[in-house]
Every structure is written in C-alpha cells, then in structure tokens.
Amino acid sequence: MFFVEVVLPLSLAKTFTYRVSEAEFHFIKKGMRVAVPFGKNKIYTALVIDAHENAPTLYEAKEIHQILDEKPIATEIQIKHWLWVANYYMCGIGDVYRGAFPTGLLLESETIVSHKPGTVVNDSELSDDEFLIYEALHHQSSLKVEEIASILNKKNIFPILQKLMAKDIIVLEEEIKESYKPKLVRYVKLHSKYESDQGLNELLNALKNANQKEIVLAYFQINASEKKPVTVKKLVEVSNSTSAVVKALVKKEIFEEYYLQQDRVSFNGEATDKQLQLSEAQETAFTSIKNNFSEKEVCLLHGVTSSGKTEIYIKLIEEYLLTGKQVLYLLPEIALTTQLVSRLRLHFGDKVAVFHSKYSNNERVEVWKQTLENADKAQIVIGARSALFLPFANLGLLIVDEEHEQTFKQTDPAPRYHARDAAIVLANFHNAKVLLGSATPSIETYFNTQSEKYGLVTITERYNNVRMPEIVLVDLKDKHFRKRMTGHFSDLLIEEIAEALSLGEQVILFQNRRGYSPIIECLTCGHVPHCQQCDVSLTFHKHKNQLRCHYCGYSIAKPTHCHSCSSIDLTTKGFGTEQIEQELVSLFPKAKTGRMDQDTTRGKFGFEKIIDSFKNREIDILVGTQMLAKGLDFDNVSLVGIMNADNMLHHPDFRAFERSFQMMTQVAGRAGRSEKQGKVIIQTYNPNHNTIQQVTTHNYIGMYKEQLYDRQIYKYPPYFRIIKLTLKHRDFDKLKEGSMWLYQVLSQNLNMPVLGPEEPAISRIRNEYIRTILIKIPQNLPLGGTKKTIQKMLNSFEAVAQYRAIKVIANVDFY
C-alpha cells in the first residue's frame, strides 16, 4: 500500500493521508498538487508534502482522484517555511496553504467559472470536453465546478478547466477587474521657429484672427506668471475662448501640442547613467551594509526621510543579480508598489515582477510560475506581504522597506503573520540576507540592533543636502482662547497655506479620521445614534448624507430629529477629512482640493487616480488619513499640516506614542523633498508633550529610550512576547463564562502574566460580543513550549461541549 500526506486548503491544523497506486507513488514528488475527495462529495486541490507507506490508523484512506502537475509547483523550502508560519503564529497549515497559493491554482468543487467576454475561440482547437464546457457557458453565464462535472459526467475535470484557463477562454468568478490608464494631460508650447525675438514679430503680424491673437497673448501671460508647462485647459480658461481655436493654431503650426505621463518627468535615455552616482553619505552606508552582511544575517538601514534609501537598495540589488540570485522587495502598501515599480523598471527593465492581491488570478499564477522557474522576468519580485509565499528558487536578498509599518502584520483571516519577521526566517532557510529600511524603525527592530543581533547603518542627512523640514507647533488652547481659529484652522496654518498656494506649491493636510464627524449628539437629551450590531457611535458622512458604522457598514439616513426625544437640535462633534475638505472650500475657494481616505480610494485604482492628479498638479491641497504617511514622493509639496496631533497620542494602545512619532515624522517627511526647505505645522492642545517635542527635534533616540524604559516596567515587547486570544460569541453570558473558564485554566498552568478576560474598547461587532485575554511571555522562557501548552488548553476548551460554539482566535505578536 502506498500513501501520500497532503495539506488541504481548509482551516485545519493537520495533514491528511490518501491512497495512491504504485505508479503514482513513484511519480509524485513533494510540492505537486493532487485533486482529492473530502467530506461527502466535495473535491479540493491538495498539496503533497510527503509520500510514505504507513496506513492511517484512525480512518480508511481514500484514493486520490488525479495528479494535477507534472513537476512540483511548490518548493521544499517553501513548505518548510509554511510549517514554521503555522507553528509560530498558531494557525492551521491549511490556512497558510490557502493564503499562500493564488486562487487560480486552487480549484475546488465550489469554485464558480464564467466565460471570458471578448475572446475569439476557434472551435476546431478545442477537445470534445472543452467544447461542451464552452457551449454550456454560452447558455448560462456562470457555472459551479461541480455542475460542470455533472455535464461531462466525469469526476476529474480540474485539468480540463486548467487548459481552458490557460487558453484564456474561461475565468474564475472573482476576477472581473478593470485596468487603469493614467490620465493624459494635453499641454501646448510655442512652435520652435517662433522662439527668437524676430520670430515673435512675424507671428503677431501673421495672425489676422482676433480670437487666435487673444489665445497667443494669453499663452505668453500664463507662461510669464507660472514657470510650468501650460495646459490646454488653463489656456482656454484664461483667454475665454474655445479649444477649437487652439486646434486651429496647432494646425497652423503656431502651437505644438504634447502629452505628459509616466512619472511626469520627460525621461531621456542619458539620465540612467548619471542617476546611480551615490552621494558620500549613501556610499558610506552602502559599504557598511556590505560589511555588516559578512557577519550578520539582518541589517537595519536607519536613514532620515528622503535620504535616498531606494538608490542604495538599487545598488545592492544590482550586486545580487550579478551573482544570479533572486531578490524580494517587500512594501507595506499596494499603493506604493506603483511608484516603485516604475523606478526599478528604469534600471532593470523587465527583470521586475510584481505580486500582490489586486492582481488578477492569471497574472498571479504567471508570476508564481516565473519565480519557480527562476525566469529572467522574475529576478526581482516586488510585492506586499503576500509575496513572501512565492516559490523562490534561489533567493539572495530580501528588502523590507518601511519596516515599522503595521500593515506588514496580517490581521484577518489566518495566517496572522508579520511579514518582516516571517521574511527573516525565510531568508534564514535560503541562506539569504535581509535589509530592513526605515526612517523611524520599530522599537523591537532597533532593540535588536542595540543587542548586536542585527547590524545597524545610519544616514543622518537628506539626499543632496536638502535640509530637514522646519517644524512649527501651534497651541490650540491658546489659539481658541484668543479667538484666532477659523473652524479647525489656526491663523498661522491659514497664512502658510495661502503663501504656499501663491508660490504655486502644493499642500498636504493630515487628519487621521475619515468621514465628516464621528458623533452626532442631541443637545436636548444628549442621545448619540449607535450602530445596531456594533458597540460604536455612527460616523456622519456628509456627501452621502448618511450615518454609517465603520466596522460593519450599517448605515441610516441622517436623522432630522433626535430618535430618543424628538428634539431637532442636533450637533456634530469631532471632525474628519470630509469636514476639513469642506472648510478648505470656503477658506480657499480658488484652490483645488482633493481627499484621500478609504472612502475615495475604494476601487482598484482609486489610489493611483488621486496620486496621479496630485503629481500632475491638478490638486493644490490634498487632505488625507494615514495613507499619506507611507513613503510617497511628491517633489512640489512645501507645506504639511497635521490638523490634530492629540487623537493619535491618546489611543488606548501601548504603542500609541511610538506610532504617533512614526506617523508624524513620516507625514512631515513628505515636505520639501527637492531644493527648498519644507515646513510642517502641527496643531495640538499639548505642545509640551514629550513625543511631540521629539518629533520637532527629529530625536528618534530620545523617543526610543523613553519608550524602552516604559516597556520594561509594564512588561511589553521587546522584553515580553504577547499572545492575544480573542473570543467571540453572540450570547453575552455564555461568552463571559467561557472566557472566564479559559482564563482560569491558562493562569493556573502558565507561570507568567495572563491578563483578562477583558472587554475591548469596542466590545461588540456584527452582533458578536468580544472578550480578549493577553498572555505575556518573558524573554527567558522558551516560546515554542509555551505555545504548545497554550494550544493544548485551547484544544481542551474546544472539547467542552457548551463552549464549542465560541470562536477563539489566537494572534501571536499582535502588534
């Protein structure tokens, strides 16, 4: 009897054994996919992780349906890494497999298939089975895989579907994706023959038409007052004529029209050689990184904002590519990849592959296969955290940029891994090196450099000796007292915005809350409308005129009177990005404002559209939430305003100060990235707060030491590891009882601090009540053993009949 051990893409902690024939046994290798029956009548794509001859004792092994691959599609190192992730982050190996594989490689009987519109199919090229499916999809727009199986009267149809997918005839359901084209802006310039003085006289004499003369004069006027290219739109506005007249002038060869796109910089071939001249500071950093790599596996590059870290990465990547190794470049935010990919493609051409969850299935499968085969196209892979799970053949270097970002930690669904930590382990398996980069490293990482576990390289000056932005604090208490506030803007901020706009520069305003205002309150009885299913007040969104819950999406129309006492005196409290945008319109009616938060960047390309129009200088003032803090690069921003620094500082989280410091420093780093020194204005009620003072003096070390001192006293990372258990159930009393039971078992069996069971700040979401338990593991105790003990207790918790319905989620290193 021959057997294979497989992982199923389900949230199960163990592997399953299936029976194979002798021929199959010799053919199958680790990392191939097989189609297997599971449960009564479902079929899944499972991954083989071992082949052996031991029959399972607890159940009768079923036979596999079919082998789906001719050669392994996952590597051994990869499977080893998955097992580590499953073990360390306390989740099922099935979760990791499901999270790692692109859905295109994970067909199952529930998958929905539809016909790809607009593809021309040559009937003669299809086999009979393929043709039957193709025809069936003409009669019915989409079918489940199990329905197709019954049409063909076959059990195994995965291979047929895979062929059809490869031929681009069918697509999986979740794939109807649009594609983004950056907006082209039409510009005009004077034809080159009229550039001399005598050419100008000829030109003015040649123009008989009054309208045309008007436009040419308007062109000179705009050109003199603004030192930037003239758009057709602007020209038509100033001269009060029509675009038809401009067209006529282009025909006469008086104007030339041209379009701008792609990085908004007219890119000429010769720039590539010049660009890679590193400055002295960069050169020093570059050599010391290489020296560090000879002794240590991990190195932290701590360079201030805009110190040119990307150039150093590019240099390093070049060296690793020469040795024939692959490079993985991780970014915290999908939106950042667009900016970076264009920069890297200028250097490395088509050696760059991109992998993240907004790509369609077929694209992801393609990148997967290229990485596996170590193809030329995938020598450098750029991606968000999911790119960690690709099947690298020969990985040499991992770069984790902006390593402090909390988006590297996956919150839901499992595996709840932290990409930075998982990357370091992956590199270890591959014998590769890791470079972490950040202007404001997280405290754990910095702690590791101080204890000599990681190397540390620091750059203290900005690229080209641009000065650090000047940071000005505005005391809101004082301004309110002296009646110097207009809405949420202090007089100083208004003056500075006006000045920046008059110089034709752009402004970024930062407010970490979306919507118009977070609370609507009745002035008569004090009633505040709450969400029916969650424990939060509803946020007012003005442009849709509705109140909505930011946790479950529940929404109601804006009430005209109080629901409790019917009074009509309703007032809004607090403010979000929408409200600031509206105040700007009344303060600066001429300026164009834009807003960047979750509501405006909903679609796949919402983000790129806003960034593009900001780079094109169509937006003068951009208001946004923390999306703005990520490492974006705008060269024309001279002023950054932080509307209220306090709501970040007083967040109920042990990392609040560290996060606020990082957030404010990063937002401030968006100012003055080219020649001119930028300015940052921070409005706060508490200007003497230590953290805010540390931001103004760019004092990272001060913040680090102060925070470490606190962390040690209150038993937080980096001195203690934290595991957070979240329990959810619809029945309040049952949850209370169950969480108490679990807490008592844990605290009796573990000799370390166990805190809880605590109601979180938001104690009910989507009608489920929530309780949390925190387990703090000191540095000197073994982590693996403790986790095993905890897992045993969780298993026994599940075995208690009345608690089986309570969901327990384990989140390791949840920060």
Task: Write out the two tokens for 815.
Answer: 């920060």
Q: Which residues pair with 434 in a beta bridge?
A: 298, 398
Contact 449, 301 (CB under 8 A): no
Q: How far apart are CA 216 and CA 204, in angstroms?
A: 9
Angle at which helices 145-152 and 158-166 cross, to 10° = 110
Residue 18 φ then ψ, to 5°: -125, 155
Report the pLDDT value the prediction gives residue 151, as an integer from 0 to 100: 84
Among 723, 703, 710, which Cα is nearest to 441's? 703
Q: How far apart are CA 789 and CA 185, in angstroms?
A: 62
CB within 8 Å of 485: residues ≥ 6 apart: 476, 479, 491
Contact 536, 550 (CB under 8 A): yes
Amino acid at 624: G
Residues in the chain: 815
CB within 8 Å of 416: residues ≥ 6 apart: 89, 91, 409, 410, 811, 812, 814
Q: What is the dihedral of CA 652, 654, 660, 663, to 10 degrees?
A: -110
DSSP state for residue 409 in the 8-state scheme:
B
Report the pLDDT value the prediction gives residue 735, as an integer from 0 to 100: 95
Residue 583 φ then ψ, to 5°: -65, -35
Q: b/e map of 363-381 (b: 16 or more CB within 10 Å)? A: bbbbbbebbbebbebbbbb
Residue found under tokens 């021959």: 2
Q: State the DSSP string of 339-366.
A: HHHHHHHHHHGGGEEEE-TTS-HHHHHH
Strands, sheet with 255-260, edge to edge from the N-terminal-most edge strand: 230-231, 185-190, 255-260
Among 255, 253, 268, 316, which Cα is nearest to 290's? 316
Contact 331, 380 (CB under 8 A): no
Report the pLDDT value the prediction gives residue 319, as an integer from 0 to 100: 92
Average pLDDT along the chain, 815 residues, taken 10 residues at a time: 93 92 93 89 89 92 90 93 94 92 78 76 82 83 81 81 80 51 70 73 76 81 73 80 81 77 35 63 93 94 87 92 93 77 82 81 84 89 91 94 91 89 96 95 96 94 85 95 92 95 92 85 93 91 89 91 92 89 92 86 72 85 82 81 90 91 89 80 94 94 96 94 95 95 94 92 92 94 92 93 92 86
The H or E element that residue 764 is part of is strand 764-765
CB within 8 Å of 778: residues ≥ 6 apart: 715, 719, 720, 752
Task: Write out the two tokens for 509.
Answer: 């305003």
Among 387, 398, 405, which Cα is nearest to 99's? 387
Q: State the DSSP string of 448-495.
A: HHHTTSSEEEEE-S-GGGPPPPEEEEEEHHHHHHTT-EETTEEHHHHH
Amino acid at 100: A
Contact 459, 301 (CB under 8 A): yes
Report the pLDDT value the prediction gives residue 482, as an integer from 0 to 100: 94
Q: How far apart are CA 6 and CA 19, in angstroms?
A: 11
Distance from the Cα of residue 5 to its chain's centroid: 35
Q: State the DSSP string of 665-733.
A: HHHHTTS--SSSPPEEEEEES-TT-HHHHHHHTT-HHHHHHHHHHHHHHTT-TTTEEEEEEEEEES-HH
CA distances from residue 645 to 36, 653, 788 in whole angstroms, order as listed: 55, 16, 42
Task: Write out the two tokens for 220.
Answer: 């000179």
CA distances from residue 584 to 149, 298, 485, 683 in whole angstroms, order as listed: 60, 46, 13, 16
CB within 8 Å of 93: residues ≥ 6 apart: 7, 12, 13, 14, 15, 82, 83, 86
